[in-house]
Every structure is written in C-alpha cells, then in structure tokens.
Structure 1
Amino acid sequence: MPSGTHRFVFYTRPFTDVPFFELPVTIREEQAVIADSTFNLSAGEVYTLNVLEKEVGGEELSTLLYLRQERFHKMAFADSLLYVNFYNLSAVGYVDAHPEPSAMITNYDQATGTAIKEHVNIYYSLYRDDIPYPFTLINNQRPRIGFTPVPGHQLIPLQQLTRSQEPIVTPYNTIPLFLPDDTTGNILSRHWVRLDIVPPGGGGGGLIGVSDPSHRLFAPANGTIVSLTNLSDEGRTQLYTGGSGNAPGFFLPSLIRQAASGPYRQRSFATVSTIEFINKQVYMTSVMKTYDPPIN
C-alpha cells in the first residue's frame, strides 16, 4: 500500500462471494457503516489494523478503528530467544456481560473460547515434546507430543496485562529457544510453550500445578484462567488437553518454527510473535528471520 492519507471504511454485507461493489445498488444501500476513519500512513512502516468493539451495553454498537504502528522491524532480536508480546483489546464490560460457560478447548481455526479479565498475569511453562527427530512416522502414524515438564521453566512470570485499546506497542517478553542441556548444537529445539493467563490472586480457586499439563486443575469460571498451548504446525499432533477440570483455552501455532535449512532436514528458528485477546477470541501473528535454503 502506498504511503499517504487513506480512508478505511467497513460495511456490513451479505454472506456471499460477490465483491461488495458488484452487489446490486439496492443491497449496498441497505448496508450499515461499521467503522470509518482516515489515517496517514508513513513510508516503510508496518501497521496493525483492527475493528474493535468499544463498549458493551449501549443501545447501539460502538466501534473503533484501531491502528497500531509496529516497531519489530526496527528492533534487534537474538536468534536464541523467542519474543512475544500481548494485548487485551476487548470491549469495556465484555467479561461481565458474558458470564455463560465457555468451551474448554478450541482450535486456532475456531478460536472462540473464554474472555480474560481486565487485569491478568501471564506465565510460561516449557514441556519436552519427546518425539523423534528428524520427524518420522511411527507405525504410519504421527507420534503423540510429550508433556514432560522442563525443570526451572514452570509457571515463570512474564508480565502483567491490562485491557487497553490505546494503540501503543507493548514490550516483548523472552522465552528460551534452546535449553542448557541441548545436545543438538542449537539445531533442534525439543520443547513447546504453554502460556497461562491468570487474574491476580488466582481468580478464586487458583492454579494447581501438577506434572501433566493436560490435567492441571483450574477454577473454571468465565474470565478466570485461560491457557494457550503453542504447538508446532509441522509433523506433530496436538497434545490431548480435553476433559473436565482443565483450563479453558486455545491451541495456537508454535512460537518455535521448524524448517529444512542448510544440511538439516529440520532446524528450529525463533519467532517474534504478537498475541491479541479480543472479547472471546485470540489472534496470533508471527514473523521470523530469513534462513538458509536446504541443500539437496
């Protein structure tokens, strides 16, 4: 998109494959404007644009066009660390207006689950995946992902998060890509990341850690505790985390990316990721550095 002044307008529309401006005039005239704002975009910059609900409870839907100017493309990042920042862009009053029970676990392509409270603490935990590398089928099936806790990396505090719709970049948190006992020469990362979002004080019932992360006990109230399980997309199956007593949560793509590079069939690369909570949905964006193509 060229730099300069741009007007962004979002309309309602029918659920069809017909482009908006190819719809009959009579139908277009029936549609409502959801958001309409003008922004000046600078050359060479990267932006995140969201249409947000401002507040729950009004007679009419109140919306906001949210434009955040990113900084990651101007920052220096270490290759040995994962970087992730968080935003709670939910509407004012959303959690209180939706006390109904939420789905316990949802896949990323159906990421509608539990809203988080106004103020929360975020923790990370690491688990060994316990699967063979390079990835191979076992009895013609993908191996199940392991969940052996990594000592010293359980429920490590990352940050406090407060709901805000101010378009200000939040600080990035770091998580190790490789562990001290790595035996691959920093080629393959053998763990995955779980993020737990907990209100101050544990939200009534609190968090009880046990060795198997799929059977931690949580207070299952709406907005109390949400878990993000970040698993790899390449050659791995999802860890089973269903069943009663688990955290409402989401499966998300991994913060660690695996790719063929150089002489290696699989090599691990760090990402710079952003996770946004918007009402009962979660969105994740990841970028990574370029890497050497595989050598045939």
Structure 2
Amino acid sequence: MKNERLYQRNELSFSFSAWLLALSFLLFASGCVKVEYSKIDDPAYLRVFNNLNYVQTLGSKDDKVPFLCMFINPVVDANGVPTGAEITGDFLDQREAYAPPYPSHIGTSTSVNNPEYPGKENVLVGPILNGFDLSSWAQVPSGRVRIMFAYRPKNTIPFFQLENHLKKDILIDTTIDLTTKEVYTLHLLQKDFVTKKTGVLLRQENFHKLPLSDSLAYVNFYNMSSKGFWEADASLKPENWRLRSFQGGMKDEMNVFLSLYESQTNLDHNSPTIPGFKGKYLANVKRNTETPVVSPYASFPLWAAKDANGIATNIWQRFDFFIPGMDITNNPFYAGNISNGGNWVSVNCLFNGQVGLTSNDNGALLPNLLVNIHSGKNNPATFATVNTIEVVNGRVYLTTIQRKYPAPIY
C-alpha cells in the first residue's frame, strides 16, 4: 500500500548449527528474507511513550526500574501471566527528550531498548493523513482493546523467552477505546509522586484535522507531572545539570511566553529578538494526568526574521514558563538561578538541541521547532511543523510532526 512505510529489521536468533545451515540454504535459494506483516482491518494509529523516568537517588534506590513490555489484546494463562498477544512491544524504555518528525530509531544502534512504540518495531505504520507523515504511529486494532504493561529485566532476552517467574510482574492492565483511522498518543505516567500511583493517559490527536498554514509553526503544551512532584524534597529528584531549571519541577499552573531570536549565529538569550516576539504570551498550562483533552495550538510565523527569503530561515525559539502574574518584564530571578521554587522554567530550542548557550542561562535544551533539510533544489529549505512540548517530573520533551516535503534534487 502506497501510504504505508514498512521498516525492516533482521533479528534472526538460533542456537544450533543445524538452524544456521538451514538458514544459509534458504538465503541462498531466495536471495532475501521476507518479512510477513499481519493485515489489520480498520486500524487505529497509536504511538506510546514511557514517561516513568527512573533516577538513582536515596529516595528511589529501591524502586522498580520501569523497563517494560507492552501487550495489546494479550493472551494470559490461569495465573494471569502473558503467554502471547495480538501485538507486542518489547524492551520499552524511558522516552527520549526529542521525538523527531520521522522514525529515527531504526538501525541507529545495536541496542534492543526502544524509547517509544513503535520506534524500532518492525510493524505496519500509519499513512500520510492530510499531508502529515504518520510513520511514527503503529497500526493497531480499533474498538475496545485490552492493553497491558509488564515489568521485565533490563537484558536482551525477548519477553516470552524469559523464565516464568520473571513474567509475572504486571504494572498496568486496562482497556482503551480506539476509533478506526484516528490518531492516538498513549502516555504511561506516574500520577502521584508520594503514593507512586501509575496509570495511562490516552490522547486522541487532532493536528491532521485542523486548517493549518504552511507559513506558520504550531506548538501546544502539557504538564503531565505527578501530583506533589514540585513540592518534594530535592534529594528525591533527578540530579542532571542538563535539565537546568526543570529538574526541580514547575508549579501546577503556568503561563508560557515565546521569544523568537533572529539568528542561530548568536546563541545568547540576550541577543536580538524579532520585533513583537520578545516574551509574547502564548498559552496557559495546568498540570493534568487525568483528562485526555488536546491543548489548543499557538502559532508563530515561519518567515518572521528581517532577512527571511521564503526558502530558509535561521531563527530559534525560547519558551519561558512563569506562574500567573509574572513575565519577563518582572522576573525577580537572575539568569543563573535554577532553584526558584518552580515559579520559572525555560527551554531553548535551537539547532539539534546539543549546542549550549552561555553558562549562566537556566534554560534546558531541545531542538529547533523548525526543520531545515535538503528539499528540491534548496539545501537547506525550512519547513514549518506541528509541535508538542510536554513537562513530566523535572523533564521537558518535544515531539515534532511535519508535513511531507519534496525530495532533494541533486
């Protein structure tokens, strides 16, 4: 089917020389290994993130490591232990800070660990819908489905090959409702930091149904942090200087402000901003782990810089989160103060998220919301995107979705 992108993986395992000989014969006879896909009638499209981050602190040293296996419509034995499933997503690790607009995990490393589902999984994926590439979403059965997540050891042995006593620890067992041809993002979350209660949040996305402009970039925001996280003692939270102001958490209601900078040649947060986009109010975000409502998208112009030529632009973005009543004009915290009681956090979006700003900047780092890529005769060309920024327990994540663009002409 022309709207499906299928990803090939070569995971051949065998233990006896006879299997090796038989496999060699088959490869010689056929010239390739054919991957069989099970057709799913009337599928929904699902993407899964494991937000159950684990850190080694004095308060968490005895916690279970949330390295998981996911089952959709599992088959279980009399003891409730999974013995099979209609769909299995094994080796599900904690999510990465950036989920780019294309499946970036295929063949990127020899590790079996998967930072999302489908991620590395070799499955049927979503089509192009309204110009958006859904190849980061897996096709799954629609209707009411049972979904289960089980703890598993952090090793490379597939779940169903583990010893029986290692397959009994079920984290979540629930049902979800999926409508045919709809797009869903499912989040595993810790909902209460004190009681350690966990659960899922299933969001039905709507970006592919909105009348979006190709000359505007879009972004929405979520705070899916646990109840009580920002109030908790610092010894219970991650110690990672790269998280900067986010590592202590942010308060349950924040206003988000956008600053657009003229060029990535100057990465100081005091560098020139685009007129009208210095601390511009964008959105209000409230902590929520229960209601799957889609946050409204805010936008900013793709060609806002004074030197914009309609082909490529070099602007970058900074998002400041303040408690209500504060903004960049009355910020009582200096740039290097990352311990401010959750009243102010910030994130800088530039390049690929690996280039730092000045040492006294309190902003975390994520990639630029705009995608610069070789397209057609232009190298680079800049494309607007649809983005989601999510804050979860001291971490900030960016998911970027992009419309299909013309292939390069060399």
Q: Into which bin does the TM-score normalised by the smaller protein fall? A: 0.7 to 0.9
Check whether the contact 1:258–1:268 (CA below 8 A) recurs between aligned residues: yes
Alpha-carbon separation, structure 2, partners of 1:112 and 1:21? 38
Question: Partner letter of residue 302 of structure 2?
Answer: L
Question: Is contact 2:148-2:174 (8 Å) kept?
Answer: yes
Question: Which residue of structure 2 lines up, in the alignment, with residue 86 of structure 1?
Answer: 221
Correspondence for 1:187:
311
CA distance in 2, matches of 1:217, 1:265: 37
Give, in whole Å, the separation in 1 of the partners of 2:394 and 2:402: 27
Match of 2:183 among 21, 46, 59: 46
Q: Which residue of 2 aligns with 1:197?
A: 321
Task: Report the TM-score, using the length of structure 1 for normalisation.
Answer: 0.81
Structure 2: stretches of 5+ with no match in the other structure: 1-139
CA contact (8 A) 1:119 1:160 kept: yes
Q: 1:77 to 1:98 in 2, by over 3 A?
A: farther
How many residues of Structure 1 are paired with residues of Structure 2 in the alignment? Answer: 266
The 2-side partners of 1:103 and 1:282 are apart by 14
Q: Structure 1 residues 55, 64: closer, same or farther in 2, change over 3 A?
A: same
Q: Deviations over 1:213-257 (max 9, x none)?
A: xx8465732422111111122xx96142323xx32x321121100
Question: Partner of 2:155: helix, strand, or coil?
Answer: coil
* 3-state SS of paired residue (2:145): strand
1:129 aligns with 2:263: yes
Could you say which structure has the greater relative contact order, defined with CA pairs below 8 angstroms and 6 or more residues apart? 1
Partner residue of 2:382? 268
Taking a change above 3 Å as real, the CA distance of residues 237 and 24 of structure 1, as seen in their structure-2 partners, is closer
The letter of the residue matching 1:50 is: H
Alignment of 1:117 onto 2:251: yes
Does the C-alpha gap of structure 1 residues 111 and 35 become closer, same or farther in structure 2, counting only changes over 3 Å? farther
Output the amino acid matched with 1:80: S
Q: Give the AA of the match of 2:288.
A: S
**8 Å CA contact 2:246, 2:346 repeated in 1:** no
Aligned residue number for residue 175 of structure 1: 300
* Shift, 1:57, TM fit: 2.2
Task: Give the structure with the higher percent strand.
Answer: 1
Q: CA deviation at 1:2?
A: 2.6
Q: Does 1:242 align with 2:376?
A: no
2:339 pairs with 220, 223, 230, which one? 220
Residues 39-90 of structure 1, C-alpha deviation per residue, up to 9 Å, x if partnerless? 12111111110111122223xx311111111111111211111100011111
Q: Distance in 1 between matches of 2:288 and 2:354?
A: 35
- 8 Å contact kept, 2:256–2:322: yes
Local SS of the residue matching 1:82: strand
Considering only CA atoms, is the larger Rg found in Structure 1 or Structure 2?
A: 2
Structure 1 regions of 5+ residues with no counterpart? 132-143, 210-214
Supply the distance in 1 between the matched residues of 2:284 and 2:234 (Cα, whole angstroms): 23
- Structure 1 residues 111 and 77: CA distance shift in structure 2, 3 A: farther
- What CA distance in whole angstroms lies between the structure 2 residues aligned with 1:163 and 1:282? 13
SS state at 2:319 partner: strand
Corresponding position: 1:72 with 2:197: no
Pick which of 73-82 and 1-10 moved more: 1-10
Shift of the 75–279 alpha-carbon distance from structure 1 to 2, 3 Å rule, reads same
Which residue type is aligned with residue 213 of structure 2? A
